[in-house]
């Protein structure tokens, strides 16, 4: 299906509306506090429409946190990157583009929900796998096999892994929309991200 077609756009909008409704209900009531019927009523769709998009409420909850990549933004990034850009620098810009304040807030909430409701965990991991697959796709488009497949897999895995302490809140890192006045002892998102990538560029040497 053409991603620019009206049918595709409407399908994506419906899926997102259902996912957002499920995510909101999970935050408000906990995963055990609502059923699929509550989701469709809030989103304004039928159970049949829900079934066309999601297998269960857990999947819908997690898909609200799925990175929504603007294809034009992605194509602009590809155009802006110099042909001599290294894979590490390409991923620096790509992942920073994806990890918006809104997405990181949602992922933090999802991480917290997954600790309380383990049935969410397999679906939460699928979001991380998708992030890694998107990063590998970027490298594939930019470098056309100039690097071994294992190299791309290892590098993208390390980059996604670097985002985990921000996502689960295990490091004292401010999200992009937070001010240092909120938490003076915290590292800013840019400081953390630059530090992590300096390790990658230097082969993890200090």
pLDDT single digits (tens) 30-46: 999 999 999 999 999 99
Contact 38, 25 (CB under 8 A): yes
Decide if pLDDT at 66 tops 70.
yes
Decide if pLDDT at 193 tops 80.
yes
Decide if pLDDT at 138 tops 90.
no
Question: What's the whole-number average pLDDT of the chain?
Answer: 89
Q: Report the distance separating Cα 174 and Cα 3, nearest Å.
A: 34
63: CB partners within 8 A, 6+ apart: 15, 16, 19, 54, 123
**Residue 6: per-residue pLDDT:** 82
pTM of the predicted protein model:
0.84
For residues 161-189, average pLDDT: 90
Greater model confidence, 3 or 195: 195
Q: Find residue 173's DSSP bridge partners.
A: 187
Question: 185 phi and psi, to 5 degrees?
Answer: -85, -10
CATH of domain 6-63: 1.10.10
The percentage of residues in the chain with a pLDDT greater than 90, rounded to a whole number, is 59
Planar angle of CA 7, 12, 15, nearest 5 degrees: 125
Residue intervals of the chain classified under CATH 1.10.10 are 6-63
Decide if pLDDT at 189 tops 90.
yes
């Amino acid at each position: 299906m053409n991603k620019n077609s009206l049918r595709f756009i409407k399908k994506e909008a419906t899926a997102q509306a259902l996912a957002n409704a499920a995510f909101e209900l999970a935050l408000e009531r906990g995963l055990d506090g609502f059923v699929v019927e509550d989701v469709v009523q809030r989103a304004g769709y039928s159970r049949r429409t829900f079934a066309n998009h999601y297998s269960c409420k857990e999947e819908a909850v997690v898909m609200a946190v799925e990175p929504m990549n603007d294809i034009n933004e992605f194509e602009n990034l590809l155009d802006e990157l110099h042909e001599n850009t290294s894979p590490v620098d390409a991923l620096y810009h790509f992942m920073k583009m994806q990890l918006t304040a809104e997405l990181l807030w949602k992922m933090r909430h999802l991480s917290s929900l997954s600790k309380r409701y383990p049935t969410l965990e397999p679906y939460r991991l699928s979001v991380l796998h998708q992030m890694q697959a998107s990063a590998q796709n970027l490298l594939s488009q930019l470098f056309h096999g100039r690097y071994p497949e294992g190299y791309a897999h290892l590098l993208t895995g390390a980059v996604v892994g670097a985002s985990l302490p921000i996502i689960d809140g295990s490091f004292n890192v401010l999200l992009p929309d937070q001010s240092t006045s909120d938490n003076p002892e915290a590292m800013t998102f840019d400081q953390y991200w630059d530090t992590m990538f300096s390790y990658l560029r230097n082969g993890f040497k200090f």
